[in-house]
């Protein structure tokens, strides 16, 4: 789920409850895979049509298996709890302060970060490989306030221009996936101190 958050640019509340039905018509085996996040799980109360890169599909297939939920809970009958990502990163403590589990950040020796920071990291990485801020905004499901031609009135994006720009988003998310794969294939030696999260 953490890897999927980075490559999909979705918020944790949007991705943790992805159900097989939300892939209908463009599932993980189709030529143009996409997930449609219903408006009740979206911050802006509008459906998100998010194309999936080849890396996102690979991660999703591994996670989903034969379950109905992409990220199924312990018994596979329900999705993971909305706090699952944060607990995975920072660990989990009982009410008496006793450690139930050590978080991934501590295990990997990196500075603690939140699930939402993955969106910032993805956006920063996309900017570093030349993807325009307007396209990054589309991938993050933000309202576009300006593009290459200048300022965009908010009413244009909210009420008039309703094109979800699927192909533009698909190309950007695939470039992000390709850059992540390149980085993973060419690992660098981490310093002894905690590594900072990308700004």
**Cα–Cα distance, 160 to 152 (Å, whole number):** 12
pLDDT along the chain (199 residues), means of 10: 96 93 90 94 89 96 91 89 90 81 91 93 96 93 64 47 77 97 82 55
Backbone angles phi, psi at 83, to 5 degrees: -95, 0
**Cα–Cα distance, 41 to 54 (Å, whole number):** 24
Residue 196 lies in a domain: no
Using an 8 Å Cβ cutoff, are 110 and 194 in contact? yes
Q: Helix or strand or coil: residue 195?
A: strand
Residue 108 lies in a domain: no
Print the domain residue range for 78.
2-82+116-185
Residue 34 lies in a domain: yes
**Which residues lie across from 72 on neighbouring strands?**
79
The pLDDT assigned to 31 comes to: 93
The pLDDT assigned to 194 comes to: 54
110 C-beta neighbours (distance < 10 Å), count: 15
- Whether this prediction's pTM lies above 0.95 is answered by no
92 exposure class (CB count in 10 Å sphere: 0-12, 13-18, 19+): middle
**Which residues lie across from 91 on neighbouring strands?**
102
The pLDDT assigned to 44 comes to: 81
**Cα–Cα distance, 148 to 152 (Å, whole number):** 10
Residue 194 lies in a domain: no
Residue 105 lies in a domain: no
Q: How many domains does the chain have?
A: 1
Residue 192 lies in a domain: no
Residue 11 lies in a domain: yes
The pLDDT assigned to 156 comes to: 43
Residue 109 lies in a domain: no
**Cα–Cα distance, 158 to 64 (Å, whole number):** 34
Beta strands in the chain (DSSP E): 34-37, 48-51, 91-93, 99-102, 146-147, 150-151
């Amino acid at each position: 789920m953490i890897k999927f958050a980075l490559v999909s640019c979705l918020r944790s509340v949007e991705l943790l409850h992805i159900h097989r039905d939300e892939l209908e018509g463009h599932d993980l085996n189709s030529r143009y895979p996409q997930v449609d996040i219903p408006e009740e799980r979206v911050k802006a109360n509008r459906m998100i049509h998010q194309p999936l890169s080849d890396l996102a599909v690979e991660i999703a297939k591994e996670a989903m298996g034969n379950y109905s939920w992409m990220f199924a809970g312990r018994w596979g009958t329900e999705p993971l709890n909305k706090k699952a990502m944060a607990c995975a990163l920072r660990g989990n403590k009982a009410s008496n302060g006793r450690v139930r589990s050590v978080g991934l950040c501590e295990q990997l020796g990196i500075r603690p970060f939140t699930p939402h920071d993955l969106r910032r990291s993805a956006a920063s990485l996309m900017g570093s490989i030349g993807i325009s801020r307007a396209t990054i905004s589309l991938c993050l499901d933000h309202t576009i306030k300006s593009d290459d031609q200048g300022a965009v009135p908010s009413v244009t994006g909210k009420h008039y221009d309703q094109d979800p720009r699927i192909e533009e988003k698909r190309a950007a998310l695939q470039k992000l996936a390709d850059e992540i794969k390149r980085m993973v294939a060419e690992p660098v030696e981490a310093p002894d101190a905690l590594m900072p999260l990308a700004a």
